[in-house]
Amino acid sequence: MKNLLKNYDRQKGYWMNEKSLQAFKESAIRKARTNLKDFTTYTTTDFEWQPYHKVYYEILDRFAKGKIKKLMVSMPPQHGKSEGSTRRLPSFMFGLNPNLRLAVTSYNATIARKFNRDNQRIIDTPEYAALFPETKLNSSNVVTVASSFLRNSEEFEIVGHKGMLKAVGRGGALTSITLDCVIMDDLYKDYQEGSSPVIRESAWDWYTSVVKTRLHNNSQQLIVFTRWHEEDVIGRIEENEKVNVITSLDDLDSYNPNEWVKLNFEAIKTSEKMPIDERGVGEALWENRHSIEKLTEERRIDPNKFECLHQGNPTSKEGLLYSGEWRTYDHIPENVSKKGNYTDTADAGADYLCSICYDRVGDDIYITDILYTIDSMEATEVMLPKMLNDAGTKQADFESNNGGRYFAINIQKNTKAAINSFHQSMNKEARIVSNSAQVQRHILFPKDWHNRWGMFWKHLTGFKKNFRANAHDDAADVLTGIIEKNIVFKTPKQPSYENTHTKFLKGDSTGFNAATWNSERNGAGSDFF
């Protein structure tokens, strides 16, 4: 309330008289009774609202009112996810419905009990009493049910109503409880727990055999996580149930209430602006608290862990096609032999147009610019020629599959680059897998490539060995094409090798060149002789 009064003074520009103050208080109370964001502003004085908080609280508000039944949220640490979902939300929901039966769970009982106590403190405040006088707790600590309403660190009951909150750690019992709502906040303590197959399986078993058995047809579920592994509870649900990713608040009106709704806020934005998150590519989620410089350094130290913890995009290292660090550069050598480009047009609506400009120096490929987008052909026909011209591209290879030839013809009209349109007939999976080592050996990116081309970086560094598990293969496909067009390795047939090797050992070196032999026999590997 104090925060509201400060805002009122600032906006009005004069000190309140008694009448205006009373009117303002009444207006604030009416709003706080009906909206989670206004409730939070009314009951706290130090909340620093960011644009994404407003979206987050709007979605939680819809959950509180039963408009969303199953919601999963992933967000970086220290960005206010628990403040909204596990502290403010339960108290607000008890105000709306004092008969609500709710459970709050976490990775251990200690954390769950802390959430319990936080809600008790909120409900005990005068501000809360002014909003929801029917929702109140026993004034003293009551350990047993006897004739009083229960109130302790594990559970509390709403006086005069059926409402209750139960705090449970992962693996804890929920016996004989029928729940209207369950909130699961970080079921894994840290990276070690999230990486443990035993703990992940235990958490999943507890969720399916304990938590879900306490729910009825109209029960609600809220999962708020910092992601640690692709096979955590959120990942397992995504494998087994329909999950809708929110891109706009308007999307919520068309979702089946029995399907999951998913909200993910990346610490560093990798996709283009969307209604749910209007940041541009490369912008931090909360710059004042976690700057882009700080986040970039954390990403540099451990890219895979950063992708889990801060981006909500976990991928098991063991399952990745491209392992280890990618080569990067500060500057391109002067002896550039080719300024090229490789382009693959989008096959379908969900596919990305991927076009990559590069400079070749020896057998190394220096990536200079990337166009990676799902924008319409009308837009890309403008963007792509500009990129080719700006990069000084001399030759561009365009895959002509699925209308690519006609796209290439239109691009040619606005660029000086010579466009070679060709049909790619080889199996995509076989090409990508067989050339993966050469891609990592010969491709170099600018050091800030993860910020410049965030979505491309995400799809490439998270590309899985299990080909069918990849939602997008466009980035890997084009890099493979660049290698195929530039780095040719000839491997002689085995009989030829045996015969030539035998001759050489016998002293017959006619027509034999050791340097050529090494190159052909071993490709980019070490010399045989």
Alpha helices in 397-493 (DSSP H): 404-412, 428-434, 436-442, 449-452, 454-461, 474-486
The pLDDT, as a whole number, for residue 13 is: 47
State the helix-helix crossing angle for 233-240 and 197-206, rounded to 10 degrees.
60
* Structural domains of the chain sorted by starting position, each given as residue range(s) with its CATH number in brackets: 35-264 (3.40.50.300), 327-486 (3.30.420.240), 489-529 (no CATH)
How far, rounded to the nearest angstrom, does the alpha carbon of residue 475 sit from its chain's CA centroid?
Answer: 18
The pLDDT, as a whole number, for residue 425 is: 84
pLDDT along the chain (529 residues), means of 10: 51 58 81 94 86 94 95 92 94 97 95 95 94 90 66 92 95 92 93 87 94 95 89 87 87 85 91 86 92 90 83 75 88 95 78 93 96 88 95 92 78 93 88 92 92 85 82 92 81 40 41 40 34
Nearest to 186 by CA among 139, 222, 138: 222
CB-based contacts of 320: which residues, under 8 Å, 6+ apart?
461, 462, 463, 464, 465
Q: Which string of DSSP letters, residue by residue, matches 243-306?
A: EEEPSSGGGGGGS-TTSEEEEE--SB--S--BTTB-PPTT-BSSTTTS-HHHHHHHHHH-HHHH
Other C-beta atoms closer than 10 Å to the C-beta of 258 total 10
Burial-class residue 480 by CB neighbours within 10 Å (0-12, 13-18, 19+): buried
The pLDDT, as a whole number, for residue 129 is: 93
Which strand ranges, in their side-by-side order, compose the sheet holding 179-185?
A: 155-157, 164-169, 101-106, 179-185, 215-225, 70-74, 260-264, 243-245
CB-based contacts of 52: which residues, under 8 Å, 6+ apart?
79, 265, 277, 285, 286
The pLDDT, as a whole number, for residue 68 is: 94
Q: What is the dihedral of CA 494, 497, 501, 503, to 10 degrees?
A: 100
Question: What does the buried/exposed string (b/e) look like for 26-49 if buried means 16 or more CB atoms within 10 Å of the residue's CB?
Answer: eebbeebbebbbbbbbbbbeebee
